[in-house]
Amino acid sequence: MTNHISGGLHASPEAFSVKVEPAPEKKIVLLPGDGIGPEIVRVAVGVLRDCAAEFGHQFELDEFPFGGCAIDAEGMPLPAETLAACRAADAILLGAVGGAKWDALPVGKRPESGLLALRKELGLNINVRPIDLRPALRSLSPLSADRARHVHIDIIRELAGDIYFGEHRVEAHASGERATDEAVYTTEEVERVAKYAFARAEARTGRLASIDKANVLATSQLWRRTVTRLAADHPGVKLEHLYVDNAAMQLVLAPAQFDVILTSNMFGDILSDLGAALVGSIGLIPSMSCGPGPSLYEPIHGSAPSLAGKDVASPVGTILSASMMLRESFGLKQEAEWIESAVDRLFVKGIRTADIAEPGTTTLRCSEFGERLHSEMLGAVERQQRTGQGV
């Protein structure tokens, strides 16, 4: 399915304080996937449609099967046509994959194997997960009020190595079975993600925490040696090393000490879920997976098959993934801020989805949240036209 989305400005270019010229068309591949994926991607597409209309952009949206739905339709989680489209895209927006329906399949044939294969084929070796506690949601954090005041962390996770991509074996054993999962890292893999993390830290506050388990793991010892060596090339960055168990504790005790966190594939997977709990819900967290080609954007939550089709899932993580795409892949900072500020205003007004509902707030369905966000974003444009202030 292909949708060509474009539109002229509803306000003059001068009103937005930017010079608007005809924009080249951007190809965005949509991978709704399984479970709640189609519902949340549908809302994010609406946001991209609004962005195109208000800022004069052209987005070509192409939808392809991926994950469990692709297994059902074509017998494999990553069909050749889907992979080819992703390679030719400017960016990719993913909903979610997986579900109990496919759990009986061999590990390499499940929906999740399609995601691992896509990362490998596109060279998506770095993952960025912003952990930001939005001001209106501080009461949802399990942290005390003083600790919840400053939670703005970028977790940089290596995505192409470690135990997820090592050899996996199950063998007969005198006690029954013996299982082995191999964790492997090379100097090149660690250098690649570390250089990215140092650059990210330089662009923020100049603080970088590298997380490992170098007291017991050979891969972590290589990790620490490599990161320490590269630090000499970045004198403006204050580097700190922490063991992963201490890092988990410090994220709860004093999250404000962190700005950019660099860590391995498995540790990053775990710590980013902990970070999601600190800000109120895993449904709020976007992510970017990047490499030499098109980047992949997705919320970090799963497919939640028990919620599929009920219109109750939160689309916020996917909406913020779309805004992250605008900023990171297309350089559209103002457009991203337009979306994110509208989300924050809804939260301030007590507009919530079920996962972040509180007494005295209004709980909306997935599609209803998208509709309210649409009105909020357009309302900001109308207010800007009246006052002459930025959106």
Are 246 and 299 members of one domain? no
- Quick check: is 351 in a domain? yes
Domain boundary, last residue among 243, 259, 278: 278
Residues 122 and 9 in one domain: yes
The domain that holds 176 is classified in CATH as: 3.40.718.10
pLDDT of residue 390: 56
Long-range contact list for 375-378, CB < 8 A, 24+ apart?
376/342, 376/345, 376/346, 377/47, 377/50, 377/54, 377/338, 377/339, 377/342, 378/10, 378/50, 378/54
Q: How far apart are CA 89 and CA 63, in angstroms?
A: 11
Under DSSP, the state recorded for 359 is T
Q: Residues 101, 120, 273, 344: which is the catalytic one?
A: 273
- Among candidate residues 224, 248, 278, the one where a domain is terminated: 278
Q: Which tokens sit at 333?
A: 């900072």
Active site includes 243?
no
DSSP strand E in the chain: where? 2-6, 26-33, 58-63, 91-96, 126-132, 152-158, 168-173, 176-181, 207-212, 238-243, 260-263, 288-290, 295-297, 351-352, 362-363
273 part of the active site: yes
| Shared-domain flag, residues 3 and 124 | yes
Q: Count Cβ neighbours within 10 Å for each residue of 197-212 and write b for 16 or more, e otherwise.
A: bbebbeeeebebbbbb
Q: Are 295 and 91 in contact, with CB atoms under 8 Å apart? A: yes
Q: What is the pLDDT of residue 338?
A: 96
List the structure tokens of 40.
């949340």
Q: Does residue 84 belong to any structural domain of this protein?
A: yes
Q: Does 290 lie in the same domain as 274?
A: no
Same-domain pairing of 267 and 206: yes
If asked whether residues 290 and 389 sit together in one domain, one would say yes
Active-site residue among 72, 181, 245, 310?
245
Residue 262 lies in a domain: yes
DSSP state of 109: G
Residue ranges in the chain modelled with pLDDT below 50? 4-20, 22
- 35: containing domain: 1-129+286-391
Q: Are residues 125 and 23 part of one domain?
A: yes
212 catalytic? Reply is no
Catalytic residue of the set 50, 90, 154, 269: 269
Query: Residue 179: phi, psi to the nearest 5?
Result: -110, 140
**Quick one: 193 and 313 in the same domain?**
no
pLDDT score, position 23: 61
Contact 123, 293 (CB under 8 A): yes
* Residue 245 annotated as catalytic: yes
The active-site residue out of 164, 238, 243, 344 is: 164
Is 4 inside a domain boundary? Answer: yes
* pLDDT on residue 9: 29
Contacts of residue 229, defined as CB under 8 A and 6 or more positions apart, other chains included, come to none
Q: Which residues pair with 207 in a beta bridge?
A: 238
Clarify whether residues 117 and 179 are in a common domain: no
Task: Judge whether 220 lies within some domain.
Answer: yes
User: Is 149 found in the same domain as 105?
Assistant: no
Whats the size of the chain, residue-wise? 391
Q: What is the dihedral of CA 305, 307, 309, 313, to 10 degrees?
A: -120
Contacts of 190 (CB under 8 A, 6+ apart): 158, 222, 223, 226, 227
Q: Contact at 8 Å (CB) between 179 and 169? A: yes
- Tokens of residue 242, six digits: 């922490």
Is 365 part of any domain? yes
Instruction: Identify the domain boundary among 278, 313, 341.
Output: 278
Annotation marks residue 259 as catalytic:
no
pLDDT in tens, 245-283: 999 999 999 999 999 999 999 999 999 999 999 999 999
Catalytic residue, chosen from 185, 213, 259, 297, is 213
For 123-157, b/e burial (b = at least 16 CB within 10 A) is bbbbbbbbbbbbebbeebbebeeebbeebebbbbb
175 with 259, same domain: the answer is yes
Domain count for the chain:
2
Q: Give a yes or no: residue 233 inside a domain.
A: yes
CA gap 267, 162 in Å, rounded: 10
118 and 180 together in one domain:
no
134 falls within a domain? no
Q: What is the pLDDT of residue 301?
A: 94
